[in-house]
A and B are shown apart, each in its own frame.
Chain A
């Protein structure tokens, strides 16, 4: 019983990375209508930049996180303005293909700039240590991760429910023409939303640096799970993404514990079932 509870907690911290990744993905889809295959690459870049700033250049941990957010935000800005913007009018297939090409490009860029070797930098001193819970030792850093994820959820909720910008974004998501007609600058809005999504992904990657391996493949590994989460929760639905992330994270942790052989398979089965039965997701309308 205690093992299960502990594993649940492990799953919860895993879920937070997934949540950060899925949040950006689902927001971008909800507003721009684009499913960004390269979103996982932005996660990876966030991790690499954070590693460089914090692990290699010794910059203060918090500053390093912030810098990596900004850097990836710029990357996202360039991606949207220079490339994505030109293909909004095309068939979805070409949008998918374009974002897919970025996966290939970013993967090799990561290899070129940082080399293909996996790295794990040092843990910031104030997060070192463990916490005893359910009879086992739980890393303090993981608690920080869970806290951060919840904080981001709160901030996003406030952003979209309470702020003027958030309301405009939601209006544009549901009716682009109407929003444009009342004077909303749609292109700028799209760029802004895309950059927000990129920064969320980067945050997920950056926060993982002290505990997770930083390597070229991490984005690709997580993007599949992020797709699963956004599908389960409903494409464009933030609440759904959060719940979906928790479900997938916790199930993953249990799966590894209880069904190591078929854990991966199970998750895909769940995604397939949701896609077939309720494609709008558990929370989709």
Chain B
């Protein structure tokens, strides 16, 4: 039953450009980006038990790295790969520093690192364009030199680039969480002391989780510049770090698909609310309040019940 739904969804998404206009495609791309961003975040939070308020920093690294590459070498593949790799490296290094601490200190440290990246992005004009950001980023063609070159200037074709990348990344993530590695991370979340006492090096696995979260944030970030043609420092701000937190909380922090469902709900709710009132933050705040007080498993827990994974 589940496989059928997923298959239907993939087919629907693949055929979307045939009947949907530019705006819907644009929205869907953003939903996919938030999904990737949130999946990474939730590997850390729902699966490993670490709440990071600084993931936007790695998103920004991915975005800026991709942008800088595209501004000199118009190859989409290089830009995206470069963005992901840079984000992975930075998250590994910052992870080394952050992972020795837990809970509140960890959350504050990640907030700190995220804002450090923000302040660099905001002030370092020569490198990042300062508060103006980087502009004129081309939606460079997808090419493997010597083999082929696909021009993806249109929204439809870029949509497919994002869709394919996302589906691939989601599949990899699925394999990850259902593997021994995924089980180990969840064990660490459930009981850090117990995990150590069955032979698991808790620190090493937390670092792995942190780095993977950074890679996914970096991928989401790297896919942004070709879409918007600009990158601004706001992508690194802690308020942006809050988006995957909220989306995941909405969808369900203990389920694999929670972040994806939550991202979809996040944009739908935002879209609907914004039509009626400009006070979208208060609605979001109330939703989070209700979720934390009564539905900590998110939408997923309403469908699958609490306790254990689905």
Q: Do chains A and B touch in the complex (CB under 8 A)?
A: yes
Q: Report which A residues bind B (CB closer than 8 A).
A: 35, 83, 86-87, 90, 92-94, 96-98, 100-105, 107-109, 111-112, 224, 227-228, 231, 235, 261-262, 264-265, 268-269, 271-272, 275-276, 279
Q: Which residues of A contact B293 (CB under 8 A)?
A: 83, 86-87, 98
> With A100-B242, A261-B124, A264-B122 given, is the CB distance from A269 to B116 under 8 Å?
yes
* Any A CB within 8 A of the CB of B67: no
Check B104 against A275 for contact (C-beta < 8 Å): no
Q: Are A104 and B284 in contact (CB under 8 A)?
A: yes
**Which of B12-20, B107-115, B299-307 is found at the contact surface with chain A?**
B107-115
Q: Known contacts A100-B288, A275-B108; is A105 also within 8 Å of B282 by CB? A: yes
Interface centre among B112, B122, B245 (most CB of A within 10 A): B112
Q: Is the CB of B285 within 8 A of A105?
A: yes
Contacts of B296 in A (CB 8 A): 90, 94
Known A98-B293, A102-B285, A107-B281: A265·B116 in contact at CB below 8 Å: yes
Contact B123 A264 (CB under 8 A): yes
Q: Which residues of A lie under 8 Å from residue B242 when comparing CB positions?
A: 100
CB distance from A254 to the nearest CB of B (A): 16
Which one of B1-9, B25-33, B95-103, B205-213 is at the A interface?
A: B95-103
Please tell me if B249 contacts chain A, counting CB pairs below 8 Å: yes
- Of B116, B288, B292, the residue contacting A87 (CB under 8 A) is B292
Q: Would A268 and B115 count as touching, CB distance under 8 A?
A: yes
Residue in A closest to B286 when the chains form the complex, CB atoms: A105
Query: Which residues from A are CB-within-8-Å of B278?
Result: 111
B contacts, CB < 8 Å to A: 45, 51, 97, 100-101, 103-105, 107-109, 111-113, 115-116, 119-120, 122-124, 238, 242, 245, 249, 278-282, 284-286, 288-289, 292-293, 296
How far apart are the CA atoms of A92 and B105 in the complex, in Å?
Answer: 11
Query: Residues of A contacting B51 with CB < 8 Å?
Result: 92-93, 96
| CB–CB A261/B288 < 8 A | no
Residue of B109, B245, B280 touching A276 (CB-CB under 8 A): B109
Take A272-B113, A276-B97 as given contacts and tell me if A109 and B249 are in contact as well, using a CB distance cutoff of 8 Å. no
CB distance from A232 to the nearest CB of B (A): 11
Q: What CA separation (Å) do A35 and B242 show in the bound complex?
A: 16
CB distance from A44 to the nearest CB of B (A): 13
User: Among the listed A100, A103, A268, which residue makes an inter-chain contact with B112, where contact means beta carbons less than 8 Å apart?
Assistant: A268
Given A93-B51, A112-B279: A272 and B289 interface contact (C-beta under 8 Å): no
Cβ–Cβ contact B101 & A275, under 8 A: yes
Cα-based distance from A145 to B211 in the complex (angstroms): 46
- Nearest CB of A to B240, in Å: 13
Chain B: CB-nearest residue to A275: B109
**Nearest-neighbor residue (CB-CB) of B237 within chain A:** A220
Q: How far is the CA of A264 from the CA of B120 in the complex (A)?
A: 9
> In the complex, which residues of chain A have a beta carbon less than 8 angstroms from the beta carbon of B113?
268, 272
| Residue on B nearest A269 in the bound complex, by CB | B116
| CB–CB B112/A97 < 8 A | no
Q: How far is the CA of A109 from the CA of B277 in the complex (A)?
A: 13
CA A173 to CA B292, docked complex, whole Å: 25
Closest to A227 in B: B108
- Compute how far the CA of A265 lies from the CA of B282 in the bound complex, rounded to whole angstroms: 30
A112–B51 alpha-carbon span in the complex (Å): 31
Task: Quote the shortest CB–CB distance from A222 to chain B (angstroms).
Answer: 13
Complex CA–CA separation, A112 to B108 (angstroms): 30
Closest Cβ neighbor of A34 among chain B residues: B104
Task: Please judge, given known A-B contacts A83-B293, A93-B45, A94-B296, whether A275 and B279 are in contact too, CB under 8 Å.
Answer: no
A207 to chain B, nearest CB (A): 26
Jot down 6 A-B pairs with beta carbons below 8 A, ordered by A: A94-B296, A102-B289, A104-B285, A108-B279, A268-B112, A269-B116
A104 and B288 contact, CB distance less than 8 A: yes
Q: Are A101 and B286 in contact (CB under 8 A)?
A: yes
Q: CA separation between A172 and B105, bound complex, in Å?
A: 22
B107 partner, pick from A96, A104, A265, A271, beta carbons under 8 A: A96
User: B45: which A residues are within 8 A, CB to CB?
Assistant: 93
Q: Which of A90, A235, A276 contacts B100 (CB 8 A)?
A: A276
**Alpha-carbon distance between A261 and B101 when the two chains are bound, in angstroms:** 30
Say whether B289 contacts A275, CB under 8 Å: no
Q: Which interface residue of B108, B120, B123, B242 has the most chain A CB atoms within 10 A?
A: B108
- Given A265-B116, A268-B119, A272-B112, verify A109-B105 contact (CB < 8 Å): no
Partner of A97, one of B115, B238, B281, B292: B292
B292–A101 touching, CB < 8 Å: yes
Contacting pair A83 B109 (CB below 8 A): no
CB-nearest residue of chain B to A224: B115
